[in-house]
Chains A and B, each alone.
Chain A
């Protein structure tokens, strides 16, 4: 449903992604792995239209979203949970969600569904989001993206700095979303959480997609982890 072909992208003069090819299938969990600086975040930002266009195509259900202005990408149903969360820190929990709801989604219905996934947020709707705990902030970052009722959800290292139970909660959430037909692109550095949820794993190396494997072909000792992530 999302097909990236020969994508070149970067910042100003510096090219980071080189002829990257990747496709995302409906209702799958595609994990993206790679060393620090390999270009994982850059890939997600390129999908979101936040980088100046260089060359290549990013086709979502037949539309080349690279030609669209950045604010139209989420309107097509791509939800984004950026690295470091980047909540609207001075806004309340409810307002952060409202930003997503006013763009897409079905208002109160969507809101209720999202809050069902994260009941802890329901008790904190009026709280300023930067005062939430780290785990709650990550829930809100995911909730905000789900308020768009996305067809594809991009998550950039959501488990960064979280305790194991929170990481499991994120894994459960992601699996539940797949059940409802949402495709997930999950950037994740650790092997165990990846093996727990992934359908396929894409390994990014120096700005290009070096290898894609079915998760069933991988185990903890798979050489790919050694080669591309260095664990």
Chain B
């Protein structure tokens, strides 16, 4: 294949990575932005979404598209509910103390992993794609499903943007993010906002996982990479900034795609990590972040 088409292929692969990464990282970023909680269990929510998708598609059987569509609805809701429960049982009782919640979410991570290991087992299992046509480009054919993943992620991201910036719920969330105590003094039920945000963050990770699982297989330890990459994206983009998260996800996703295709996936990770180090040194609030004052 000539260089041009090869680069195009690499960019498209990168775009798929970026799309899924943007969803996952946005969940992490929202939770930190509003609740000031560093959610180490975020990758575990991602994993639960993927494993859940396997259970749902297995249970429905044929046609695969129906099972997948159901999984896309059920898994984020179920994972969101689990997250809301974990929030009420653990994080709320710690009064959202920034340090205590880090340790607590590490604990949650292990609990969810062991739960998955017990119920789902140690194997990696594939989930069938809902459809499998190829889009024929002049130079190569490309998976129609992967293109659909990009589209679906874009739709979800736009939806989240609308909710945050154009709805009453979003206004309440932003006010809580700015000043929790004043939000309370103006009648906002902060406990409910926190439960909702934590559920929404986990739900976004689950959506990303359901979208990726026909490409990647479900496994009980699969949460590690998305967690690491999400942290990278969120640090580069600036914590709590939606725009920054998107830009950083594109940056990391595309460079990951291109470098993986032309050189090696390991080099791609090395460069991403280097980028984080540079950002932390020269612009600790991230590319689009504001100084956190509180």
Contact = CB atoms under 8 A, between A and B. Distances in A.
Interface string A80-106: 101000101111000100111011100
A86 B179 contact: yes
Given A50-B181, A82-B182, A103 B187 contact: yes
B178 A99 contact: no
B174 A91 contact: yes
Dominant secondary structure at the B interface: helix
A90 B179 CA distance: 11
Nearest to A130: B178
Contacts of A88: 174-175, 178-179, 182
B274 interface: no
A75 interface: yes
B216 interface: no
A86 B186 CA distance: 12
Chain B interface size, under 10 / 10 to 19 / 20 to 34 / 35 or more: 10 to 19
- Residue with the highest number of chain B CB atoms closer than 10 Å, among A74, A88, A95: A88
Contact of A144 (B178, B181, B186): B186
B174 A70 contact: no
Given A86-B179, A90-B178, A99 B171 contact: yes
B78 interface: no
B168 interface: yes
27 contacts: A49-B184, A69-B191, A70-B184, A71-B188, A71-B189, A71-B190, A72-B187, A74-B185, A74-B187, A80-B185, A82-B182, A86-B182, A90-B178, A91-B175, A91-B178, A95-B174, A95-B175, A98-B171, A99-B171, A99-B186, A100-B186, A102-B171, A102-B172, A102-B187, A103-B187, A144-B186, A148-B186
